[in-house]
């Protein structure tokens, strides 16, 4: 089964409206979890046009997420780049 990024979003977290997330159904969910040596330009471009960017960043910080959220890369809720 192919996993999409939408599968990784928290279905019960009701602050952001995940249904309108620009990454929902994106065909390249791995781009939101780059290796340290990889850029995340692709994910950042998608995030830049996302209507819930601010809420996504808040969620990532409060829920101590890792990966690219709201155009930044987080590690356990802290922005690392």
Give the binding site for ligand SF4 (CB under 6 A): 21-23, 46-47, 50, 52-53, 56, 69-70
Residue carrying structure tokens 């994910």 = 43
Nearer CB in complex with ligand SF4: 23/28: 23
**Minimum distance from residue 1 beta carbon to ligand SF4 (Å):** 21
Q: How far is the CB of 70 from ligand SF4 (least distance, A)?
A: 4
Of the pair 38, 70, the CB lying nearest ligand SF4 is at: 70
Q: What distance in Å separates the CA atoms of residue 55 and residue 46, rounded to the nearest whole number? A: 15
- Give Cα 58 distance to the centre of its chain: 11
Closest CB to ligand SF4 among residues 25, 35 = 25
């Amino acid at each position: 089964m192919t996993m999409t990024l939408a599968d990784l979003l928290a279905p019960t977290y009701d602050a952001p409206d995940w249904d309108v997330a620009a990454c929902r159904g994106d065909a390249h969910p791995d781009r939101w979890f780059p290796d340290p040596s990889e850029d995340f330009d692709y994910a950042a471009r998608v995030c830049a046009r996302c209507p819930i960017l601010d809420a996504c960043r808040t969620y990532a910080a409060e829920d101590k997420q890792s990966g690219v959220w709201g155009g930044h890369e987080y590690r356990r809720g802290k922005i690392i780049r």
